Amino acid sequence: MARTFLRRTALVFLLFPLAASAEDDSWLTRSGYYRISYKSELQPIEINRIHSWVVHVESPAGEPLLGAEISVAGGMPLHNHGLPTDPKMTTEIGSGDYLLEGVRFHMNGYWELLVTIDVGGKRDTVIVPLNL
């Protein structure tokens, strides 16, 4: 049990810096065009339950961005498998908020979500880490 604890702890420290620059649960995209954050319908997130997220997109200066196209892929890098569902952005709620539906995780452990944001043809990506 202690071994697993050490393994998990090591994992978090090893992977976190690689994933994204996180500040207050928000993530700056790779080229620095956008900053995103999200709120899950499920608090805390549970495995095996399909649910939705509200993704917030803003400029690095903190201005909410409208008209964004968001796509999400991802998986568990250590298990070499993807997400069990194909989540989709379905609604632009307004004020930089977007509804992402069809999110589900089927294992506890370390997940990475590759989020691609496109505002007016300017595209950027970010990896959002998630430990369940």
Partner 1 sequence: MTSIISKKLGALIAIVALLAGGWWLYGPRSPSTWTEADLAILQSLSIDNLPSLPPDPSNAVADSETAARFGHRLFFDTRLSVNGSVSCATCHQPERRFTDGLPKGRGIGLSGRNSRSIVGTAYSPWLYWDGRRDSQWAQALSPLEDPAEHGGNRMQFVRLIGDDPAYRHFYELLFGPLPDFNDRRRFPDAAAPVADPTLREAWQKMTVADQHSVNIAYANIGKAIAAYERLILPGPTRFDAYVRAVLSGNQTTAEGILSNEEILGLQLFIEEARCTECHNGPLFTNNEFHNTGVLSFPGDLPDRGRIDGVRLVRDDPFNCLGEYSDDPDRNCPELTYVRTGIELIAATRTPSLRNLGETAPYSHKGQHETLASVLDLYNRAPLAMIGHNEVEKPLGLSRRELKWLEAFLDSLDAPLATEPEWLTAPVD
Are the beta carbons of 69 and 88 closer than 8 angstroms? no
Q: Which is nearer to partner 1, 20 or 103 (CB)?
A: 103
Report how many residues bind partner 1 under the rule CB under 8 A. Answer: 25
Minimal distance, residue 102 CB to partner 1, in Å: 3
Largest Cα–Cα distance of the chain, in whole Å? 50
CA–CA distance, 45 with 88 (Å, rounded to integer): 18
Report the residue from 10, 12, 47, 93 that binds partner 1 according to the rule CB under 8 A: 47
C-alpha closest to that of 117 among 77, 69, 54, 84: 69
**Under rule CB under 8 A, residue 43 binds partner 1:** no
Q: Which is nearer to partner 1, 1 or 61 (CB)?
A: 1
Question: HSE-up of 95 (CA within 13 Å, CB side)?
Answer: 1
**Under rule CB under 8 A, residue 87 binds partner 1:** yes
**Under rule CB under 8 A, residue 10 binds partner 1:** no
C-alpha closest to that of 88 among 120, 132, 50, 62: 50
Are the beta carbons of 125 and 114 closer than 8 angstroms? yes
**Under rule CB under 8 A, residue 86 binds partner 1:** yes
Helix (H) or strand (E) holding 80: none
Report the residue from 4, 13, 44, 62 that binds partner 1 according to the rule CB under 8 A: 4
Select the span of 31-39, 44-52, 57-65, 116-124 touching partner 1 (CB under 8 A): 44-52
Q: Applying CB under 8 A, which residues contact partner 1?
A: 1-5, 47-48, 50, 79-88, 101-102, 104, 106-109
